[in-house]
Amino acid sequence: MANEEPYTVHGSDVEPKILEGEIAVRDMLEEDIYLGDADFPEGTGIATHVHPTCHEVIIITQGDSEFHWGRPDGEIVTQPAPKGTYVFVPQGVPHGFKAVGEMSMTFIYVGRKENFARDFVEFRDGAWVAVRSVDF
């Protein structure tokens, strides 16, 4: 059941999870929606992955990044996503990010809590295939 009263959370009060050795992820809100932030040191990123059953919104709050996403035929589309960029990713679309430039990159992510599982994917034999899954 969701909280009955509003509440606040400060990022410094949430212990980060460290992914892939150096990416810090803090889950700030886990009610009906999933909200958090992720810090990527310069040159790091999150591999191509998909949220099979929910959309995701990402807001770049610091630094510059490259956003990439995969078309059904396996083509990868890459576009710049500097600070201030809002990204909407429909459910089931493979996507990822990389911090570029001379500083780290931070973003806020939002999705539906009940469906925020993540499958890391690769394009093989004409289709996107899950190679590793993470359940939030």
Percentage of the chain surpassing pLDDT 70? 90
Whether 96 maps to a domain, the answer reads yes
What SS3 class is residue 77? Answer: strand
Query: Is the pLDDT confidence value at 136 over 70?
Result: no
Q: Which of 108, 61, 99 is nearest to 83 (CA)?
A: 61
Whether 73 maps to a domain, the answer reads yes
Whether 2 maps to a domain, the answer reads no
Whether 133 maps to a domain, the answer reads no
Query: Is the pLDDT confidence value at 65 over 80?
Result: yes
Whether 129 maps to a domain, the answer reads no
Q: Name the token pair of 37.
A: 């932030």
Query: What does the alpha-carbon distance between residue 27 and residue 80 come to, in Å, rounded to a whole number?
Result: 25
For 67, the domain range is 14-122
Query: What does the alpha-carbon distance between residue 34 and residue 125 come to, in Å, rounded to a whole number?
Result: 33
Q: Name the token pair of 90.
A: 């429909």
Q: Which pLDDT tens digit goes with each residue over 82-111?
A: 999 999 999 999 999 999 988 999 999 998
Whether 49 maps to a domain, the answer reads yes
Alpha-carbon distances of 40 from 15, 50, 74, 83, 88, rounded to whole Å = 16, 19, 26, 13, 19
Which of 17-21, 57-61, 84-88 is predicted with the least confidence, judged by mean pLDDT?
17-21
The length of the chain in residues reads 136
What are the two backbone dihedrals, phi and then psi, of residue 98, each rounded to the nearest 5 degrees?
A: -140, 135
Inter-residue contact 108 to 61 (CB < 8 Å): yes
Per the prediction, the chain carries an average pLDDT of 86
Whole-model pTM over 0.85:
no
The residue with tokens 């001379």 is: 102
How many domains are contained in the chain?
Answer: 1
Query: What does the alpha-carbon distance between residue 83 and residue 26 come to, in Å, rounded to a whole number?
Result: 19
Whether 101 maps to a domain, the answer reads yes
Task: For residue 110, give the CATH number of its domain.
Answer: 2.60.120.10
Which pLDDT does position 1 carry in this prediction? Answer: 46
